[in-house]
Structure 1
Amino acid sequence: MATATEAARNAGGPTSHTRFQFTQATKEQSKARVALDGPSGSGKTFTALTIAAALGSRIALIDTERGSARKYANEFAFDVLEMSYFSPDDLVEALAAAGAAGYDVVIVDSLSHFWSGSGGMLEQVDTAAKKGFGGNSFGGWKEARPMERRMVDALVAYPGHVVVTMRSKTDYVLETNDRGRQVPRKVGMKPEQREGLEYEFDIVGSMDWENNLLVTKSRARSLSGAFVKQPGIEFGQQIKDWLEDGTAVEPIEDLITEALRPEATFEDLGALMRKVRARRLEGAPMLDPVGAPTTLGAHITERGKLMRRTAAGQGENREGGAA
């Protein structure tokens, strides 16, 4: 005879009162999260623009490379924001502005500056260590790490597609040429970025000086381990086809619109927050009604708190009037 647990399992019902419940997994349509690394001159910017052109029509490029992206303005249509200070929070604000403007694709060229450039993570850690921890780097990391988390969350939860480039350090190796002689060859090493950041992206590719791309990580099985010589629009189309092969989901833009809706009630915001948390979109960058940068989760939370304070104040006024 089947036990109660087995009977519940066979009937598809819950086997306990736990709050953790499993549901049938389905592949959903999603937005691109692509990272390209490589040494200077390997074609990262051009390839990022090529991929972006396949993914959407309105492209925003955040340029940290002293305006170098403009050299491709005769080949691609895109808007550019040139930055010279690279605080991770500034990137969150830039992404919020891009999302509010409705850009289909955002390129960050390059993300490495927000790690090792002026105002980047390494500088933020150093400043925090000297300011509040007597130069202790562990204390500096504890202070600065949330800033990096906000930046990564904003990249992952951006309403459109995201393509980032990362610089790789350069080194030389000796190789034997066709004449049997040892000759030096330049190679790209590790990207200038926090170790493990590639886990945040669906597709990661490394580029060489001949503008070839090796896919080193891919959640798209058709692209896993692919070696693409001078990738063109077809490579971007392959990414787009994989992204669109799945069940349609509510666009992040609609969730942001709901969060901004003036007539939304406290119950509406509660239901919206549950939906946002289920999709891990609390860090989605957005602008509040006055144009200040924030995130979707923070905005819903602040609106909920304001509604509670307002309701409490009205209750006190009624009690005072009755007295």
Structure 2
Amino acid sequence: MSQLPPPVRRAQPPQASTVDQYENGPFTFRPASKDGQRARLSLQGPSGSGKTWTGLSIAAGFAEGERFGVIDTERGAASLYIDDIPGARFDTLPMRRYDPRDLIKALAAAAQVGYPVVMVDSLSHYWKGADGTLDQVDKAASKYGGNKFAGWKDGGELQTDMIEALMAYPGHIVATMRASTKWVLEENDRGQKVPVDKGVLAEQRKGIEFEFGVAAELNQQNQLRFIKSRCPAFRGLKLDQPDGARDIAKPYLDWLRAGAKEIDTAAWVDQASSATATPDSLLALYRDVEAASALATPLMHPETGQPTSLGAYIRERGTALKTAQ
């Protein structure tokens, strides 16, 4: 009986890791702080309630004398008030189509300029305007045999990405939204069903107000009511013809800054772009940005000049350097 030769062990080629280090990081708790937090405020109201005027006044207060940016979907309405609102020094970007991806591009352009505040007047257009989210859902539905429910998979992602970019802008945000009065039939003391004014309903995705740190509604008498506030100074507060800078911007900023320090997003971009960056340093930077909820921060790609996000840029550089190694 012949004897078989002993087995030969051959070195196996290294296998590429299937674990994405960026997406599958550790869950790490950190001390809570308000460091780097920015104002996120929405104003909703019907036509004639003073949304643009009040929003500009608040934005001017947040800007504290610096120029700020206005993403204008209201056919130049903001520019009409340039001489009427004390301290309001701003530039406008007129928009004529309302694809949610265009708002992300506009925010990236604003971040590149370095505006400390951006006002979106109004956010409603990116929901139900031409090429807005609802249009995107209809377009996507055609890929699924007209199934609108399936269309929300694509259209909903565009809406989510837009809101993420808005919330991660490296400055303060003021967003106005068109709204209609919400009437509910209720029984009065005579047993009759009568319509009762229950506030206003924003023309945006349901629950949009929960995305903002402070949300308020205006009526046609320019009376403001806070409907949601993380800032204790505004809870349950109503203001008659408010001075946006004095009554809203100042107490909001005072609360955000109490015991907190500023975070310079530009420093993160510089670290990501550094010639001395390594895969390990970029992964650590990604974790810091992730902990600050700033991965979606919009910016123009330093090499291509195209809109991207801070998280995507760090990840791109880190992956490229690791591949090169």
TM over 0.5: yes
CA RMSD between the two structures: 2.2
Q: Given that residues 54 and 240 in structure 1 are in contact (C-alpha distance below 8 angstroms), is that contact kept between their aligned partners in structure 2? A: no
Q: Which runs of 4+ in 1 moved over 6 A?
A: 171-174, 184-187
Please report how far the alpha carbon of residue 23 of structure 1 lies from its aligned counterpart in structure 2 after TM superposition.
Answer: 4.5
Residue aligning to 1:61: 70
Residue aligning to 1:113: 125
85-94 vs 302-311, which moves further: 302-311
Residue aligning to 2:37: 30
The answer to whether the aligner puts 1:238 opposite 2:284 as a matched pair is: no
SS in 2 for 1:162: strand
Residue aligning to 1:3: none
**TM alignment of 1:222-237, pairs within 5 A:** 222-232=233-243, 233-235=245-247, 236-237=249-250
Gaps of 5+ in 2: 1-25, 186-194
Q: Given that residues 38 and 188 in structure 1 are in contact (C-alpha distance below 8 angstroms), is that contact kept between their aligned partners in structure 2? A: no
Residue aligning to 1:303: 317
| Pair 1:22–1:98, CA change in 2 (3 A) | closer
Structure 2 distance, partners of 1:47, 1:190, is: 18
The answer to whether the aligner puts 1:261 opposite 2:277 as a matched pair is: no
Structure 1 distance, partners of 2:236, 2:210, is: 16
Residue aligning to 1:320: none
Partner letter of residue 86 of structure 1?
Y
Residue aligning to 1:40: 47
Could you give the per-residue CA deviations for residues 185-244 of structure 1, whole angstroms, max 9, x where no partner exists? 998631001111111110000001111110111001111111011111212211111111
| Pair 1:283–1:126, CA change in 2 (3 A) | same
Could you give the per-residue CA deviations for residues 94-133 of structure 1, whole angstroms, max 9, x where no partner exists? 0001011000100000000000000100000000001x11
Structure 1 distance, partners of 2:83, 2:314, is: 42
| Pair 1:81–1:188, CA change in 2 (3 A) | farther
Q: 1:165 aligns with which of 164, 168, 176?
A: 176
Report the identity percentage.
44
Residue aligning to 1:88: 100
Structure 2 distance, partners of 1:30, 1:21, is: 20
SS in 1 for 2:242: coil
TM-score of the pair, normalised by structure 2: 0.82
Q: Given that residues 34 and 256 in structure 2 are in contact (C-alpha distance below 8 angstroms), is that contact kept between their aligned partners in structure 1? A: no
Q: Given that residues 43 and 218 in structure 2 are in contact (C-alpha distance below 8 angstroms), is that contact kept between their aligned partners in structure 1? A: yes
Could you give the per-residue CA deviations for residues 14-49 of structure 1, whole angstroms, max 9, x where no partner exists? xxxxx6554543343521000000001111111111
Please report how far the alpha carbon of residue 171 of structure 1 lies from its aligned counterpart in structure 2 after TM superposition.
Answer: 6.4
Structure 1 distance, partners of 2:94, 2:221, is: 27
Residue aligning to 1:16: none
Structure 1 distance, partners of 2:36, 2:288, is: 17
Q: Given that residues 260 and 288 in structure 1 are in contact (C-alpha distance below 8 angstroms), is that contact kept between their aligned partners in structure 2? A: no
Please report how far the alpha carbon of residue 306 of structure 1 lies from its aligned counterpart in structure 2 after TM superposition.
Answer: 1.8
Partner letter of residue 69 of structure 2?
A
| Pair 1:49–1:96, CA change in 2 (3 A) | same
Please report how far the alpha carbon of residue 85 of structure 1 lies from its aligned counterpart in structure 2 after TM superposition.
Answer: 0.3
SS in 1 for 2:259: coil
Structure 1 distance, partners of 2:283, 2:27, is: 19
Structure 1 distance, partners of 2:323, 2:145, is: 40
SS in 2 for 1:294: strand
Q: Given that residues 39 and 188 in structure 1 are in contact (C-alpha distance below 8 angstroms), is that contact kept between their aligned partners in structure 2? A: no
Structure 2 distance, partners of 1:225, 1:29, is: 26
Please report how far the alpha carbon of residue 173 of structure 1 lies from its aligned counterpart in structure 2 after TM superposition.
Answer: 8.8
Partner letter of residue 152 of structure 2?
W
Q: Given that residues 56 and 78 in structure 2 are in contact (C-alpha distance below 8 angstroms), is that contact kept between their aligned partners in structure 1? A: no
Partner letter of residue 127 of structure 1?
K
**TM alignment of 1:119-158, pairs within 5 A:** 119-130=131-142, 132-158=143-169
Q: Given that residues 256 and 286 in structure 1 are in contact (C-alpha distance below 8 angstroms), is that contact kept between their aligned partners in structure 2? A: no
| Pair 1:231–1:266, CA change in 2 (3 A) | same
| Pair 1:262–1:150, CA change in 2 (3 A) | farther
Structure 1 distance, partners of 2:207, 2:149, is: 19
Structure 2 distance, partners of 1:58, 1:258, is: 27
